[in-house]
Chains A and B, each alone.
Chain A
Amino acid sequence: MPTGSFIHKASPKLKIISLFILTICIFMIKSFWLYFYLLGFCWIILRFARLKAQFLWRGLKPLIFLFLITFVLNILFTEGTNVIWQFGIITITEEGLSQAFVFFMRVMLLVIFSTLLTLTTSPIELSDGIEECLRPLKYFKFPVHEFSLMLTIALRFIPTLVSEVDKIKRAQEARGANFSDGNIFKKLSNFIPLLIPLFIMSFKRADELAVAMESRCYAGGAGRTKYKRRHESFYDYLMFVIVLAVIFPVLVIYFKSFSGF
């Protein structure tokens, strides 16, 4: 969702690294309050990126069911001593509750942070950023460029595929096809008129893309230069330092808990 804010313009490489560090941090936290601290951080990013909370909600909505199940299972199956409530075989303990809460918050924060990344970074920037981050792996003969190209192509063609599915679905519906009725086997066979044209078109497109790339003399990543080169500016690093500063307390508290306090 481009809004042109400075978070959108920030270096994708540093954004990905920040997400990576934040992910590690999320798993270091054990205390209740620190989760709200990070949640507040999410809110601040959201504000600065000039995004509406409903975009985040759209990312979270499909996962709500999963969240609830893990929450309930954690409550029910965590063993503990401080029993709060007991009914038959159902026992709810304090440990269970806090465990459930911790898991819930962890998964939610993970989803929120990664949604924030994809909302503020275009797919092209994202795969460029990933390529930059993976560059060191080149020394281990990992095909970094090919990997990022695959990622770019895959991301690039998601919207195309979606609009194609939509188009073919409409076309087949106009011929009386039905995609919702019937039992599971009937439903699967209903999708054949959708899938076959989709496959045919994808193969055709892959072929066309290959020819188009070859006719522009594409020959893999070796010695290839970039059209748009991105250099991290002072502000990019400043933002990265701010992120580090925000998570600093988390680290301090984590390591303090080892040193006997």
Chain B
Amino acid sequence: MKKTLIELNKACFVYNQGLPTECAALTDVDFKINSGDIISLIGHTGSGKSTLVQLLNGQRRPSSGTVSWPGLDIGNAKKPDMKKLCTQVGMVFQYPEDQVFEETVYEDIAFGPEQLGKKPEEIERQVLKVAELMKITRETLNKSPFELSGGNLRKIAIAGVLVMEPKVLVLDEPMAGLDPTSCENFAHLMNDLKSNLDISIIMVSHNLEYAAELSDYIYCMENGRIAMAGTPREIFSNAEKLIEMQTGTVPSAACAHKLMKHGFKFQDIPITLDELVRGIVLNYAK
């Protein structure tokens, strides 16, 4: 039985409330995260994805509606302990490499647990564990973070969040600006995390291919509302709606739709490359 970790109930968020520049970013959002899920948030630029994820670790409070953390250890449920909450919900912001500041990679990853006042041995254990998980070598740990490439630096920044051993990992556009190889590595990393740690992952993503491949659920946002929610197959079967929302669709589904116009038949709309190939082979086998 899956536990609900975070629940949003009719959450609204308004930026600059009361000023002439007031702007509603979220309207009546219902959202739920269960333990062990990988969830992707997709949607057009400005649809409220980033605002939504910032509600999840309590750093922003909803203007109306509620955010609750029933499955997390946050002290008093009415007045959550923000520090505890921040460590339970690990937040990786857009371009997280900007938050790196220490002299060595090791120290930067150790920053979080140090701030929580943990013992040195405990900190070392946690850092080495996370380094192993993310395949960061000993040699890299002693380097200055500013010698590293962008993709590796981002890995360090994510390690700096994971070291807090959160129950939920929130990533805001983790693949923005990465080269294809780094994206591929990142996707592997997400799968590793899911199988090795008891962790739920929420990703804001523009990369629909990876969203389809990795996620259990996809939430599709439009104008501050959740316009569609479901499994990747449910979402990407509805090509018209996706095009209408300007999010586009996965290449495999787009390709399948075109092939269908030429008489191909697919049992289910393929959402990954493998499924597409299998579908085409089946068509020829008939």
Say yes or no: A174-B161 contact (C-beta < 8 A), given A167-B93, A193-B111: yes
Of chain B, the residue at the smallest CB distance from A54 is B18
Contact A174 B115 (CB under 8 A): no
Binds B, one of A175-183, A234-242, A248-256: A175-183
Contact A175 B160 (CB under 8 A): yes
Q: B98 contacts which of A171, A173, A176 (Cβ < 8 Å)?
A: A171
**Cβ of B189 < 8 Å from any Cβ of A?**
no
What are 30 sample pairs from A and B whose C-beta atoms fall under 8 A apart?
Answer: A1-B20, A3-B20, A168-B98, A168-B99, A170-B59, A170-B91, A171-B93, A171-B96, A171-B98, A173-B86, A174-B59, A174-B86, A174-B91, A174-B93, A175-B86, A175-B112, A175-B115, A175-B164, A176-B83, A176-B86, A176-B115, A176-B164, A177-B111, A192-B101, A193-B99, A193-B111, A196-B101, A197-B98, A197-B101, A201-B98
* A1-15, CB < 8 A from B: 1, 3
**Cβ of A172 < 8 Å from any Cβ of B?**
yes
- A interface list, Cβ under 8 A from B: 1, 3, 167-168, 170-178, 192-193, 196-197, 200-201
For B93, B101, B116, the residue with the greatest tally of chain A CB atoms inside 10 Å of its CB is B101
Smallest CB–CB gap between A9 and chain B, Å? 17
CA distance A93 to B218 in the complex (A): 75
Smallest CB–CB gap between A188 and chain B, Å? 15
Smallest CB–CB gap between B82 and chain A, Å? 8
**Cβ of B247 < 8 Å from any Cβ of A?**
no
CA distance A246 to B220 in the complex (A): 59
**B54: which A residues are within 8 A, CB to CB?**
170
Smallest CB–CB gap between A134 and chain B, Å? 31
Q: B101 contacts which of A1, A174, A193 (Cβ < 8 Å)?
A: A193
**B161: which A residues are within 8 A, CB to CB?**
174-175
**Cβ of B100 < 8 Å from any Cβ of A?**
yes
Smallest CB–CB gap between B203 and chain A, Å? 16
Smallest CB–CB gap between A258 and chain B, Å? 47
Q: Top 6 closest A-B pairs, CB basis?
A: A176-B115, A196-B101, A174-B91, A171-B99, A175-B112, A176-B112
Of chain B, the residue at the smallest CB distance from A193 is B101
